[in-house]
Chain A
Amino acid sequence: MSDKKSPAAKAGASAGAATIPRDCSLAELPVGRSAVIVSMKPGLRGKKKFADVGLVPGTLLEMEAHAPFGGLLRIKVMDSSLSIHRDDAANIVVRMQELP
């Protein structure tokens, strides 16, 4: 998935190996971390479907869990839990929030 990283994520990574890039794909967001959606990559399928449940730029979300054997992710958006596929999440760019 590294070749699909956004330019911003690359910039963050080159700034120092220890710091987590602030912009990353939703698929890369660690469990327990919150992030704000920055943009949807053009390759994202079902944009409208995601938009309808609140996945639009500016939305705050939290990574709740990863399903066993990869595949699905569970995220909290607007106080409800959604499960989406990792491949789709890879096309959503988010900005990680600072840990509280």
Chain B
Amino acid sequence: MSRKYRIVLAGNPNCGKTTIFNCLTGARQHVGNYPGVTVESKTGEFMLGEDEIELIDIPGVYSLSSSSPEEGVAFEELTKPGIDLIMNVVDSSIPQRSLYLSTQLAELHIPMLLVFNMSDEAKKKGLKFDIKKLQSYFGCSIVQTVGSRGDGVDKLKDALAESLLHLEDHDVPKLTYGADVDDAIHELEEWIEPAMTDRVRHIPARFFAIKLLEKDTCVMRMPEFQGLDAIIDAQITHLYARHAITAETFMADCRYAMISGACRDAISFTQERRREISDKIDAVVTNQWVGLPLFFAVMYLMFWFTFTCAAPMTDGIDWLFGWIQGLIERFWSPDVQPVLRSLLIDGVIHGVGGVVVFLPNILFLFLAIAFLEDTGYMARAAFVMDGIMRKFDLQGKSFVPLVLGFGCNVPAIMATRSIESERDRRTTILVLPLMSCGARLPIYVLLVPAFFAVKYQAFVMFLIYAIGVVFAMAAARILKSTLFKGDGEVYLMELPPYRVPTAKSILLHMWDRGVMYLKKAGTIILGVSVLLFIANNFPEKQKYDVDYGAQIMAVAADTSLSPAEQAAAARRIENLKRAEEAEYTISGRVGKFLEPAFRPIGFDWRVTTAAIGALAAKEVFVSQLGILYAEGEVAEDAPDDEQESLRQQLRRAYTPLQGFCMMLFCLLSIPCLATLAIIRRELNSWKWMFLEAAGLFALAYVTTFIVYQIGLLLKIGTNYLA
């Protein structure tokens, strides 16, 4: 008879839990988020003989309390009714620390299976386990595995099947804390027992008694145990007076004492060889002098990998969407349903293409991040960078996403997931759009040579990037001292020994992120792309001020022009027509309507319209200006002579000051919609997304206003400097 079982996978961070999870479930897993917190939830399924197993991977924690959002989630998940078995993965190369969590799990009296993972490392260290003794101690079976090689997984499945047969008559652990502590626990149990409701009756009173003695906030808050304060306090004072120690650490102390007793009893050292290789690598990697330069080299490599190595794939996707577009254009005549055709091509395909085109970057980036995380380098990187980042009220782990922001803000914001501190993470996400991303580069490439002589160009370019960084750092400080004020979370991070990552877990990690990006960002962006398409194309102009058709005919008939000249003239007229159309559309009208508001920062309606278009993607600013200046759609990678004639027009129309203000505004203002969509997703809040957009707009407007007005006043950049 087949049954369905719910099994929870628990363990410390870095214990190889994810590897075991992947070994058991393969690709049959779903990644999600726990509601309200940015803690990832992961479930998977697999078949064990006839039985169907649902495996729930809870976040890696050191203890079952509530010192962090992860611990809160783990606690909640484990105390929910309906769990058939807990599979506790233990890094058996550091038994003392790892078994600390196991003692707490054992107290839940839910059937348990202990997975002594990394048993190869334990062996290398010379640890020998008396498995029988340990099994009777924890009241459960123990399986030894090497998750990274897949060793012992079959044994694990056998032991699991065996444990599932004995769910009703499983052993209970024999854990004692010494006479006086056990007495206190018993005493409390008697008070707790009658207070228990159905909600918690599947958990022994003893578990809650211990948690209450620890003054665990999660348990103290439970409605069942209100009114027991006086009894708890009496027990605590009684105990702690005798032991002269504080409540928070008392039980931890007892637990470690108990574990070290058990370890002395059941674990023997045959030789002393401690993580020698790892320590040797670390002597260099976390060295006070070499650590930082090495880190920057790794960052450079990662940047190169993400953006340069992914370039052929990005081009391939571009080509694919171009091909699809060509196919539609060929088989769908422009005369049939022209609006629908145009919506499909310019709205849907360009919109979706705009999202999918980031996919290679995201996949490559997360491949690199997963590699660095699984080898253990990421923890070191945070360690060496922390000192510098703290000066800006951020922490070491914020650095990687910020650097990636220069490439593309979207994957960079997704990379903030590695920051545990919620406030640091939010701050990093919110300042990230100020890092000038790759899509803003075409704007500078167009404008800088248009307004600045060669000798100033590099400086202006550098200045723009530097302004972004300075504003980001300043914004981080301001955010941390206002909105995200308060004592930072206590910093505590483990530096696991270096390990060779498994291809499977790296690829799965990459896959998760890719799917997540496509699903969540894709839907929003698609919708908004359609809206922007409508704004940029409607209403359609039916009656033109000039008869362009006649003009084109006239050009075609003009025999004094060479065919090439004829084509050029025809194109110019065609573009004039497009400019008139653009002026007539919603975004053109909005641009004109908003012109008075943007005049104080040096924009006319054309620039304003282009800035609105840049919401879709920053580089659209360039193509919009191209349309409005009747130069045709200037692709961001158009040949230089095509861009050059647009530059000449711009030079005639604006001062270098205005040109600089355009760049400044594009740098600081609302990021592209893909970025906004990902901000909404990662902060899990529409409110924050709108606040961010409004805040950045205000910042951009005020800054550009000040620069423009002061520039005008002091006559800086009002004339072209040769």
Residues of chain A having any CB pair with chain B under 8 Å: 40, 42, 45-54, 56-59, 64-72, 74, 77-85, 88
Closest A-chain residue to B487, C-beta based?
A: A45
How many Å lie between the Cα of A82 and that of B248 in the bound state? 20
B557 contacts the other chain (Cβ, under 8 Å)? no
B491 touches A79 (CB 8 A): no
CB distance from A26 to the nearest CB of B (A): 13
Interface centre among A66, A68, A70 (most CB of B within 10 A): A68
Check A66/B383 contact, CB under 8 A, given A84-B492, A88-B491.
Answer: no
Q: Please give, as numbers and ranges, the residues of chain B lying within 8 Å of A77 by CB-CB distance.
A: 97
Check A48/B387 contact, CB under 8 A, given A67-B286, A81-B495, A82-B495.
Answer: no
Q: Please give, as numbers and ranges, the residues of chain A lying within 8 Å of B286 by CB-CB distance.
A: 65, 67, 74
Partner of A52, one of B67, B93, B274: B67
B62 contacts the other chain (Cβ, under 8 Å)? yes
B249 touches A82 (CB 8 A): no
B96 touches A52 (CB 8 A): no
CB distance from B391 to the nearest CB of A (A): 8
Check A70/B493 contact, CB under 8 A, given A52-B62, A54-B100.
Answer: no
CB distance from A44 to the nearest CB of B (A): 9
Partner of A72, one of B249, B253, B383: B383
A72 touches B491 (CB 8 A): yes
Q: Please give, as numbers and ranges, the residues of chain A lying within 8 Å of B495 by CB-CB distance.
A: 74, 81-83
Q: Please give, as numbers and ranges, the residues of chain A lying within 8 Å of B390 by CB-CB distance.
A: 69, 71
Check A48/B97 contact, CB under 8 A, given A40-B249, A81-B494.
Answer: no
A50 touches B492 (CB 8 A): yes
Partner of A53, one of B62, B248, B386: B62
CB distance from B499 to the nearest CB of A (A): 13
Check A80/B496 contact, CB under 8 A, given A53-B97, A67-B383.
Answer: yes
Q: Please give, as numbers and ranges, the residues of chain A lying within 8 Å of B289 by CB-CB distance.
A: 68
How many Å lie between the Cα of A83 and that of B383 in the bound state? 7
B387 touches A69 (CB 8 A): yes
Q: Please give, as numbers and ranges, the residues of chain A lying within 8 Å of B487 by CB-CB distance.
A: 45
Q: Please give, as numbers and ranges, the residues of chain A lying within 8 Å of B100 by CB-CB distance.
A: 52, 54
CB distance from B476 to the nearest CB of A (A): 16
A46 touches B96 (CB 8 A): no
Q: List residues 483-524 of chain B with CB under 8 A from any CB of chain A.
A: 487, 489-497
B291 contacts the other chain (Cβ, under 8 Å)? yes
New contact pairs (4) apart from A52-B252, A65-B286, A69-B390, CB-CB < 8 Å:
A48-B63, A69-B388, A74-B286, A80-B97
Partner of A54, one of B96, B274, B493: B96
Check A82/B493 contact, CB under 8 A, given A47-B246, A52-B63, A71-B386.
Answer: yes
Q: List 15 A-B contacts (CB under 8 A).
A: A40-B246, A47-B249, A49-B490, A51-B253, A52-B67, A56-B249, A65-B287, A67-B291, A67-B383, A68-B288, A69-B390, A72-B383, A79-B274, A83-B492, A84-B492
Closest B-chain residue to A53, C-beta based?
A: B62
How many Å lie between the Cα of A72 and that of B382 in the bound state? 10
Interface centre among A46, A49, A51 (most CB of B within 10 A): A51
B27 contacts the other chain (Cβ, under 8 Å)? no
Q: Please give, as numbers and ranges, the residues of chain A lying within 8 Å of B249 by CB-CB distance.
A: 40, 47-48, 50-51, 56-57
How many Å lie between the Cα of A88 and that of B581 in the bound state? 65
CB distance from B201 to the nearest CB of A (A): 27
Q: Please give, as numbers and ranges, the residues of chain B lying within 8 Å of A57 by CB-CB distance.
A: 245, 249, 253
B387 touches A56 (CB 8 A): no
Closest B-chain residue to A58, C-beta based?
A: B253
Q: Please give, as numbers and ranges, the residues of chain B lying within 8 Å of A83 by CB-CB distance.
A: 379, 383, 491-495
Interface centre among A40, A47, A77, A88 (most CB of B within 10 A): A47
Closest B-chain residue to A45, C-beta based?
A: B490
B384 contacts the other chain (Cβ, under 8 Å)? yes
How many Å lie between the Cα of A72 and that of B288 in the bound state? 11
Interface centre among A45, A52, A71 (most CB of B within 10 A): A52
Check A48/B288 contact, CB under 8 A, given A69-B387, A82-B493, A84-B492.
Answer: no
Q: Please give, as numbers and ranges, the residues of chain B lying within 8 Å of A84 by CB-CB distance.
A: 491-492
Interface centre among B94, B249, B288, B487 (most CB of A within 10 A): B249
How many Å lie between the Cα of A49 and that of B62 in the bound state? 9
How many Å lie between the Cα of A69 and that of B490 in the bound state? 19
Check A54/B490 contact, CB under 8 A, given A47-B249, A69-B387, A79-B97.
Answer: no
Closest A-chain residue to B215, C-beta based?
A: A48
B538 contacts the other chain (Cβ, under 8 Å)? no
How many Å lie between the Cα of A77 and that of B96 in the bound state? 10
Q: Please give, as numbers and ranges, the residues of chain A lying within 8 Å of B282 by CB-CB distance.
A: 64-65, 81
CB distance from B684 to the nearest CB of A (A): 25
